[in-house]
Structure 1
Amino acid sequence: MQKWIKEVGRGKRGAKDLSYEEALEAAKCMTSGEATEAQMAAFLMAERIKTESPDELLAFIHEFRRNTQRLERPRAEGGILDCGGPYNGRNSFAATIPVNILLSQQGLPVFLHASESLPPKNGTSLKTILQKLSVPIAQTKGEVQAALKAVNIGFAWTDKLCPPLADLRKIREEMGVRTIMNTVEKLLDMSGANSIILGVFHRTAVNKIVPSLQQLNYERAYIVQGVEGSEDLPVHRSSFIYNIGKESSESIIIDPSDYGLRHEKELNKEVLNADEQAGLMTQLLAGEQSDVLLPYRNQVVLNAGLRFYLMGHTPTIGEGTQLADRLLTEKKGEEQLTLWRGVLQGSIDS
């Protein structure tokens, strides 16, 4: 590991990008246990200062995928949508949870994943929010698989399915900064998905991720400039979504005003705890409506509408938002959440 640290740790001007093969060897040192904690921390910090290249990112994704348990369920007709959000948690409303409950209710397989929250934000993790929603957390890939098969929605506690990633947790907590692993963990592809929607915070991050994403095994890949770097579009402003093809990519501007969903409240500035997150989601899925709930409802409707469209379930985003609005009003989300809880509890009990 020392030779790779020397290459990437020569300072901003002298540091050298590793080739794909060299980066793969460095990653193997980490997954095999050959590298010490000090060496792994040094390498991750040097990469942060240098900034990782697309080849380095791709090599780390491949190696950590190789050490990740993957679901055995074959791809469903139309495929699975993998939602890659930030592992450092959320402060603002995590719309992706109710959004994906609505998608699954319509028979569209969706896959969420996270672990306990990490620096630098240390927000509320999706895992914690789901626990507050009384959704049992699957401990094995079999339990995740059972839910995905039965009700078209799965959540994986990533540390359970990728031990080398879990082994890095203490180091990353002590470092307290973002590293290459913040991107790698979102792209482990535990579900064998053929589609992914990936959140980024800054548009500048797109250029770094696109070359790697184009070499992965997705038929459809989208990058969203979402709230807190998530896959959730805001409703107080327009946002970009990038459609990533194998040879090129195109950007689309999504304006909530086009669908009558813009709201002046800047949800990205809120800090919600897990109880508040779960409370809002419970009310929305139960079909409740009020002035207080309106911005959150609009965000769920916009993002569900977009994903319905991207997955080919509706011919337009507008028709997708109309469908999402109707599903909330008819309490279909509440019914689906109840089914998800029951399937997981039954799988865990057995």
Structure 2
Amino acid sequence: MIHLLKEVGRGKRGARDLSYEEAIQAAESILGLQASPAQIGAFLMAERIKMESVEELQAFVKTARKAAHRHPMQGGIDCAAPYDGRKSSFIASIATAFILAAAGLPVTLHGAAALPPKWGVTLSDVFMSAGIHAKALQRDSCIQAAEKTGVLYVHAEEWCPPLKQLRPIREELGMRTVLNTVEKLIDYSSSPFLSFGVFHNTVFDRMTRLMEQLGYQQSMIIQGSEGSDELYIHRPTRTCRMEHGQAVLQMIDPEAFGLDTPVPEREWSAPLQAETTDAVLRGEADMAFIHQVLLNGGVRLHLAGRVLSIEEGIYTCKAVLESGEPYKLYTTWLKMLKKEPQAV
């Protein structure tokens, strides 16, 4: 590990990218905890300063996938948002997932307890506020709920143990590392479609080249709300879609679909996120949040090839939401996961 650390840690001018084979060695040392905490922390910071290459990211993703429990069951879309959570915006992906599932497109969501740098409200926080005990989010329970409803939630640190083991180091560093990207690309259910959130459009080129290497049928990189893969409803969102090996940049403007809506200010907590999700699926929330879910659902249906246009996707999601089926799936999903965990 020391010789690899020297290569990436020579400073801004002297550092070099690792070859794919070298990056595999580094990833195995870090994810296998063969390197010391000091070496791991130093490597993560050196990579942050240097900026990870496509080959390095690919190597870390491949190694993390090998270390993870993966269950190729869904054949749908993987929604990859930052694991550091949200502070100032509605998490639309939960309600969107159940609309998509009701429309016949399975969805995989994944996350963990709050992480740096944001330390925001996470999916797990929302689910616990909805009444699900943390211990109920075990693999078998979540797989059973997915088989019944089409929505799989992956608690990443249970499915990929190295992420749990590395948490103390990440918390001490308190900032973004290569793991913030890698954990979103483990692809727990072997999904052919991916929506991937980023904070800065400067990473579009690297990420599109990485998506091509990872072999998704279709993927979209979205510079969304708080770095998520969710499109804004009050202004255009910058996206980049991979189509047949080509990167296609696109600004998606809600105004073009008659959905642009001012977003009411909220002090977002986990209970409020859960309440708003429930209200959206009942069709009783503020229209800004309903419109946001419809737009995101329409874009994801189009990405997965289930509709011919985003507009058709929006109309499809609207009809599905009005049918009441997404709310039925959501209540079924909650009921299955609210069961008291069995004593071991």
Structure 1 CA distance for aligned equivalents of residues 144 and 33 of structure 2:
32
Preserved contact between residue 111 and residue 191 of structure 1 (Cα < 8 Å): yes
* Equivalence for 1:62: 62
The question of 1:102 aligning with 2:95 is answered no
Q: Which residue of 1 aligns with 2:255?
A: 257
Q: 1:277 and 2:273 equivalent? A: yes
**Aligned residue number for residue 124 of structure 2:** 127
Higher mean C-alpha displacement, 193-202 vs 311-320 = 311-320
Matched, 1:320 2:305: no
| Structure 1 pair 82–136 and aligned structure 2 pair: CA distance change class (3 A) | farther
Q: In the alignment, is the contact (CA less than 8 A) between 1:288 and 1:329 conserved in 2?
A: no
Residues 1:206 and 1:264: Cα distance change in structure 2 (over 3 Å): same
Per the TM alignment, residue 4 of structure 1 is displaced from its structure 2 partner at its CA by 1.2
Distance 2:133 2:318 in 1: 27
Alignment of 1:1-350 (within 5 A): 1-73=1-73, 76=74, 79-91=75-87, 92-135=89-132, 138-245=136-243, 247-265=245-263, 271-289=267-285, 293-345=286-338
Residue 316 of structure 1 and its aligned partner are, at CA, apart by 2.1
SS at match of 2:84: coil
Alpha-carbon shift at residue 143 of structure 1 (Å): 2.4
CA RMSD of aligned residues (A): 1.9
Distance in 1, Cα, partners of 2:323 & 2:148: 22
Partner SS for 1:168: helix
Q: TM-score, normalised by structure 1?
A: 0.92
Please say if residues 146 and 347 of structure 1, whose CA atoms lie closer than 8 Å, have aligned partners that are also in contact.
no
Per the TM alignment, residue 294 of structure 1 is displaced from its structure 2 partner at its CA by 1.7
TM-score, normalised to structure 2, is: 0.94
Residue deviations 1:301-320, cap 9 Å, x none?
11111112222333221122
What's the CA shift for 1:50?
0.8
Task: Tell me how far 1:133 sits from its aligned partner.
Answer: 2.1
Structure 1 residue 14: deviation in Å?
A: 0.7
1:116 Cα deviation from its structure 2 partner:
0.4
Where 1:156 maps in the other structure, the secondary structure is strand
Unpaired stretches in structure 1, ≥5 consecutive residues? none
Structure 2: how far apart are the matches of 1:312 and 1:207?
23
- SS of aligned partner of 1:253: strand
**Cα distance in 1 for residues equivalent to 2:72 and 2:212:** 24
Conserved 8 A contact 2:101-2:326:
no
Using the TM superposition, give the Cα deviation of residue 254 of structure 1 relative to its aligned residue in structure 2, in angstroms.
Answer: 1.0
Q: CA deviation at 1:165?
A: 1.3
Amino acid at match of 1:161: W
**CA offset digits 1:167-212 (Å, max 9, x no partner):** 1111111101101111000000111111111011111111121222
SS in 2 for 1:184: helix
Q: Secondary structure at the match of 1:279?
A: helix
Q: Which amino acid aligns with 1:22?
A: E
- Aligned partners of 1:347 and 1:190: how far apart in 2? 25
Percent of counterpart pairs with the same letter? 38
Equivalent position amino acid for 2:124 in 1: K
2:193–2:303 Cα contact (<8 Å) kept: no
Task: Return closer, same or farther for 1:271/1:203 CA change in 2, 3 Å cut-off.
Answer: farther
SS of 1:124's equivalent in the other structure is: coil
Supply the distance in 1 between the matched residues of 2:310 and 2:207 (Cα, whole angstroms). 25
Counterpart secondary structure, 2:33 = coil
Further displaced range: 322-331 or 119-128: 322-331
SS at match of 1:214: helix
User: Separation in 2 of the partners of 1:165 and 1:16?
Assistant: 26
**Greater CA drift, 168-177 or 302-311:** 302-311
Aligned length: 341
- Please give the secondary structure, in 2, of the residue aligned with 1:154: strand
Q: CA deviation at 1:273?
A: 0.8
1:330 deviation in Å? 3.8
- Contact 1:197/1:223 (<8 A) preserved: yes
Letter in 1 for 2:92: A
- Following the alignment from structure 2 to structure 1, what is the Cα–Cα distance between the partners of residues 164 and 205? 28
Letter in 2 for 1:142: D
- Return the alpha-carbon distance in structure 2 between the equivalents of residues 3 and 295 of structure 1: 53
Report which stretch shifted further, 293-302 or 244-253: 244-253
